[in-house]
Copies of this chain bind each other. A is one copy, B any other.
């Protein structure tokens, strides 16, 4: 690689001057020399040696991104949002996948510190890495998360309460009064938040909830199937089911269909997450989409802000989602919609 030395030699100036021009220092350099240096640097294809720069400045232009499940439907979108902002500012990201079980979690933080990353982003991984808090606290960081909740001012979180109420209200607007609920895994904070939003919305509308209408599920399709069966077996059947995520909703959909009922005519179903599953299933499932790309962008902006101004007051940010109306609660749509939805989901 061509070094600053060669550029300086060709341009007939000292390396200090070249450095000042090429690192956008605000040190005064005459327009004349500045121009020739830029010209020479461009011609010889100079690119600064990041290792040397990093060694000297103790900044690396590297951001560590630690996430739990890389091949989930959410993580990559968040990461792209993060990169969308950071790449433009000259930052690269070191994306590391920490499987939940692995004991190597703590080491990852240490290793990333070794690479002197300038900051951290934790996507759903705050809980397991807290044991390295002493290290992490030395750098700016942001937490992007959904399922767990530990109050931390650096957090960017979907507004679970608002989002869940969106989808319940939608059912009420359509005239439903007997609405059942399938909850997510009780260990997750978001489960209780979503359930709470359902309860509050029903109460605010003055609607009652029968005993067997709330089923405790576990985030997955079979669980949704079983929960729906339990709900359907209750003496007074609901006219609609709210599921805590799209997997549960899809399971419920299968159960309702298997019971010989029609969706949405006999029972309406809504989900949460805007998972692929909700726009591929037949009928497609009304759900709530989370602005994951945006959340990534916000996380990155937040980080840049921290990197520039060292001292600042932080506060949790709650990000609202968007209601996606599909067939499972009564909207009339054709096959083109499947496709459009699916393509949008995979393309952007």
Contact = CB atoms under 8 A, between A and B. Distances in A.
Given A250-B280, A280-B281, A50 B221 contact: no
Contacts of A220: 339, 343
A113 interface: yes
A339 B75 contact: no
Nearest to A108: B87
Contacts of A94: 92-94
A225 B96 contact: no
A47 B114 contact: yes
A335 B221 CA distance: 9
A336 B222 contact: yes
Contact of A335 (B1, B93, B254): B254
Contacts of A48: 114
B92 A115 contact: yes
Interface stretch (A23-31, A66-74, A185-193): A66-74
Contacts of A210: none
Greatest chain B CB density within 10 A among A52, A54, A76, A247 is at A76
Contacts of A342: 221, 247, 277
Nearest to A72: B346
Number of copies of chain A assembled together: 2
A77 interface: yes
Nearest to A52: B55
A49 B114 contact: yes
A258 B335 contact: yes
A282 interface: yes
A130 to B, nearest CB: 17
A287 B52 CA distance: 51
Interface size classification for chain A: 35 or more
A76 B77 CA distance: 11
A87 B102 CA distance: 13
B72 A80 contact: no
Nearest to A221: B339
A79 B254 CA distance: 34
B47 A111 contact: yes
Contacts of A45: 110
A145 to B, nearest CB: 18
Contact of A113 (B1, B280, B281): B1
Contacts of A201: none
A336 B251 CA distance: 10
B280 A346 contact: no
Interface string A123-158: 000000000000000000000000000000000000
Nearest to A90: B111
6 contacts: A1-B116, A47-B110, A50-B114, A50-B115, A71-B80, A92-B115
Please name the 5 residue pairs, one residue from A and one from B, whose CB atoms are nearest each other, closest first: A51-B54, A221-B339, A47-B114, A71-B76, A51-B55
Interface of A: 1, 45, 47-52, 54-55, 60-62, 69-73, 75-77, 79-80, 83, 87, 90, 92-97, 110-116, 220-222, 225, 247, 250-251, 254, 258, 276-277, 280-282, 335-336, 338-339, 342-343, 346-347
